[in-house]
Structure 1
Amino acid sequence: MDASNRVRSRETYGQVGGAVALDLVNTVSWRLSAERCIEHFVDFDDVQRWAHQLGLVGDAQSAALGRLADEHPADAAAEVARVIALREAIYAAAYEGASTQPLVAAHAEAVASGRLDPDDHGAGWAWEFPEDLALPRRRIALAAVDLLLRDDLDRLGQCSDAECGWVFLDTSPRHNRRWCIASDCGNRNRVREHYARVRATADSPTGG
Structure 2
Amino acid sequence: MSTAWAVREDGVWLPKQISGHPGLELCNTRAGWRESAGWEGEYLRGYDQLALIAGRTDLINRDQVDGLRRRARRHPEDAAKEVGRAVAIRADLYALFTGAASRRAMARVADAVQVARSRQVLDLAGSLAVWRLERPERLADALDALLIASGDLLTGGEADRVVACPGRHCGWLFVNASGRRRWCQMAVCGNRAKQASFQARHLD
TM-score interval (norm. to shorter): 0.7 to 0.9
- Does residue 159 of the first structure (1) align with residue 165 of the second (2)? yes
Give the letter aligned to residue 63 of structure 1.
D
- Does residue 143 of the first structure (1) align with residue 134 of the second (2)? no
Give the letter aligned to residue 87 of structure 2.
I
- Does residue 126 of the first structure (1) align with residue 128 of the second (2)? no
2:21 to 19, 22, 44: 19
Q: Give the Cα separation in 2 of the matches to 1:10 and 1:68.
A: 17
Aligned residue number for residue 5 of structure 2: none
| Shift, 1:120, TM fit | 4.7
- Give me the TM-score of the superposition, normalised by structure 2: 0.84
Count of residues in Structure 1 that have an aligned counterpart in Structure 2: 190
Q: Give the Cα separation in 2 of the matches to 1:151 and 1:59.
A: 29
Structure 1: runs of 5 or more not aligned? 1-7, 201-208
Structure 2: runs of 5 or more not aligned? 1-7
Q: Give the Cα separation in 1 of the matches to 2:76 and 2:158.
A: 40
Q: Give the Cα separation in 2 of the matches to 1:97 and 1:10.
A: 31
Give the letter aligned to residue 198 of structure 1.
H
CA, structure 1 residues 60+125, in 2 after alignment: closer, same or farther (shift >3 Å)?
Answer: closer
Flag the structure with more relative contact order, 1 or 2, with Cα contacts below 8 A and sequence separation at least 6: 2
- SS of the equivalent of 1:39 reads coil
Structure 1 residues 75-104: Cα deviation after superposition (integer angstroms, max 9, x where no partner): 010011111122112111111133322122
1:33 to 14, 32, 35: 35
Aligned-pair identity in percent equals 29
Aligned residue number for residue 46 of structure 1: 49
| Shift, 1:23, TM fit | 1.9
**If you compute each CA radius of gyration, which structure gives the higher value, 1 or 2?**
1
- Give me the TM-score of the superposition, normalised by structure 1: 0.82
| Shift, 1:21, TM fit | 2.1
Range moving further from structure 2, 39-48 or 9-18: 9-18
Aligned residue number for residue 113 of structure 1: 119
Where has structure 1 moved over 4 Å in runs of 4 or more?
none
